[in-house]
Amino acid sequence: MSSLPSDAFPAWARLYGLLLNGVQLRHIEGKGLGFVRDDDVDILLKVPRDLLLSADEYAKVDVNFKQLLDAVVNRSARFDAVLFLLCHLVHSRRGRDHDRALIPTPWTEYLRLLPCPVPVPTMWSKSERRLLSGTSLESRGLTRQQPAVDAKLSALTSEFDRLRDKTEHMPFWYALLWEGQGSASLDDWILCDAWFRSRCLELPYLGVAMVPGLDLVNHSSYPTAHYEVNNGTGHVELCAHPGGTGQEVTISYGKAKSAAEMLFSYGFVDADGAANTLTLPIAPLPDDPLAKAKLSVFGRSPVVTLRWEGAVLKWESPFAYLSSLNEEDGLSFRLVQDTAGMRQLRLLWQDDDITDRAVELETLVESHHLSSVFRLRAVAVVHERIDEQLARIKTDLSPKQSDAREACGEAAKALREMETGLLEAATEALELEKSMLLADEDVVRYLTSSRNSEDEDDFS
């Protein structure tokens, strides 16, 4: 598929009713395309609602695409959007004279304005992904869980294989997607997913959507504009903040995303705007006989999250509590049979069923007389995981990859520096908390009693 020059965008916008007002599309140093404001107006961009990417709406006008959606099971809004992009990508590459052609939409041409490749880690080479070694996005992990980039690539491969399996016996889609030169590839699917992740926005009332034109506006932690949905017209509007004529128009992609999430979704790290948080997978204790039951009943990924709250480093890990509690503390499991005759594993604390409240364990154990002991155990679990990650990130100093792109190296370095700072602060905070807990009266009493019991057992 050949790309369109950036000066083709204004003509595309006029053709499909997208209003540009007081802005020019320019090349922005280090960012690619972006808008520069050249007039003092309030509304810079108006995008008609029917230009938003909607696989469901397109299925109403293209019967072949409707059949495709109906054939693929376990769909999601993201999957449908990526599938729409893939079909139009292949359609554009093959040309309209191909035996099997889709009904064209504004997106058929707009795809040719989108960047290729997208600088997200799923589109980095293997040597470039090695630059992430030791970070929370590392390509090989310390736990049994797949790290984020590996897990995403595995999921994309499974999705693509499932799509091919479902469509190879559909004549129209076999001819368009899989037959001959220019057919769909896994790299195409990865590209379309990267387009969606890096360009979708959370719209008021409408949810997550891709908005042509608006997705060309770059991010800043100090934005010069914001977007909203006009309740009367349904248009998506880009509204300018006071001042800023002659400057780049920017919006915020979200202040709650960590540095790793920014790099994973958008391909860059905003050192000023990224939330100072870090999430790491955490494994069950290796000698815990209840480990499998705990993972099963927990029902979500076991992680530890670090975040700054003002000048205080906080940590949160419900699974660290679950992994450090045992039967003598009052934790137990029970198999029950539901109304359909299926057996379910339930989690109990002090004989109360808390299966649906496992993430609230820290609060649930607060009334127990050994709550400080439980906290100490959880601190020890988290401390070990943080020390492990800190050692890894310092050992795996991002090596110089001769064939790695400079932008990838800079992004990986920025992520490494931000995560190292958080890990070092977390280690200090956990050491301080551990020393305070060891001085707690209930903890001292418990540890003394435990030592006395061990001495009696040894004597016996």
Residue 345 inside a domain? The answer is yes
Do 24 and 154 fall within a single domain? yes
Do 238 and 155 fall within a single domain? yes
Residue 49 inside a domain? The answer is yes
Residue 152 pLDDT > 90, yes or no?
Answer: yes
User: Which residues on neighbouring strands pair with residue 309, listed in sequence order?
Assistant: 312
Report the pLDDT value the prediction gives residue 460, as an integer from 0 to 100.
Answer: 37
Report the pLDDT value the prediction gives residue 207, as an integer from 0 to 100.
Answer: 87
Q: What is the residue range of 125's domain?
A: 6-251
Continuous segment of H or E residues that includes residue 151: helix 148-167
Residue 438 inside a domain? The answer is yes
Do 280 and 422 fall within a single domain? yes
Shortest CA distance to 386 belongs to which of 346, 424, 437? 424
CATH number, residue 148? 3.90.1410.10
Residue 381 pLDDT > 70, yes or no?
Answer: yes
Average pLDDT over residues 124-143: 79
Answer whether 119's CB lies under 8 Å from 407's CB: yes
**pLDDT above 70 coverage of the chain, percent:** 93
CATH number, residue 301? 3.90.1420
Q: pLDDT class for 400, splitting at 50, 70, 90? A: low
* Strand ranges (E), 103-235: 200-203, 207-210, 218-219, 225-229
Do 350 and 407 fall within a single domain? yes
Residue 267 inside a domain? The answer is no
Average pLDDT, the chain: 89
Q: Would you call 200 helix, strand, or coil by DSSP?
A: strand
Last residue of a domain, one of 201, 218, 251: 251
Average pLDDT over residues 444-457: 75
Average pLDDT over residues 170-195: 95
Report the pLDDT value the prediction gives residue 143, as an integer from 0 to 100.
Answer: 44
Last residue of a domain, one of 234, 251, 268: 251
Do 86 and 213 fall within a single domain? yes
Residue with more model confidence, 438 or 454: 438
Report the pLDDT value the prediction gives residue 459, as an integer from 0 to 100.
Answer: 37
Report the pLDDT value the prediction gives residue 301, as an integer from 0 to 100.
Answer: 87
Residue 140 pLDDT > 50, yes or no?
Answer: no
Residue 41 inside a domain? The answer is yes
Residue 313 inside a domain? The answer is yes
Do 232 and 280 fall within a single domain? no
Q: pLDDT class for 450, splitting at 50, 70, 90? A: confident
Residue 25 pLDDT > 60, yes or no?
Answer: yes
Do 281 and 245 fall within a single domain? no
Do 123 and 195 fall within a single domain? yes
Q: What is the pLDDT of residues 331-365, one digit of tens each?
A: 999 999 877 788 999 999 999 999 999 999 999 99
Residue with more model confidence, 257 or 248: 248
Residue 298 pLDDT > 90, yes or no?
Answer: yes
Do 169 and 71 fall within a single domain? yes
Q: pLDDT class for 98, splitting at 50, 70, 90? A: low
Do 103 and 194 fall within a single domain? yes
Question: Which has the minimum average pLDDT: 179-188, 232-241, 247-256?
Answer: 247-256
Q: What is the pLDDT of residues 31-60, one digit of tens each?
A: 888 999 998 899 999 999 999 999 999 999
Q: pLDDT class for 128, splitting at 50, 70, 90? A: very high
Do 104 and 58 fall within a single domain? yes
Q: Nearest 5°: phi and psi at 202?
A: -90, 110
Report the pLDDT value the prediction gives residue 147, as an integer from 0 to 100.
Answer: 76
Q: Nearest 5°: phi and psi at 53?
A: -65, 120
Residue 373 inside a domain? The answer is yes
Do 182 and 34 fall within a single domain? yes
User: Which residues on neighbouring strands pair with residue 308, listed in sequence order?
Assistant: 313
Report residue 424 as tokens.
């070092």
Report the pLDDT value the prediction gives residue 377, as an integer from 0 to 100.
Answer: 97
- DSSP state for residue 176 in the 8-state scheme: I
Question: Which has the minimum average pLDDT: 256-260, 337-341, 454-458?
Answer: 454-458
Strand order in the sheet with 352-353: 331-337, 343-349, 352-353
Q: pLDDT class for 29, splitting at 50, 70, 90? A: confident
Report the pLDDT value the prediction gives residue 145, as an integer from 0 to 100.
Answer: 60
Report the pLDDT value the prediction gives residue 310, as an integer from 0 to 100.
Answer: 85
Report the pLDDT value the prediction gives residue 455, as an integer from 0 to 100.
Answer: 53
Last residue of a domain, one of 201, 217, 251: 251
Q: Which pairs count as long-range contacts for 438-442, CB under 8 Å and 24+ apart, including other chains?
A: 438/376, 440/372, 440/376, 442/369, 442/370, 442/371, 442/372, 442/373
Residue 266 inside a domain? The answer is no
Number of structural domains (the chain) is 2
Residue 139 pLDDT > 80, yes or no?
Answer: no
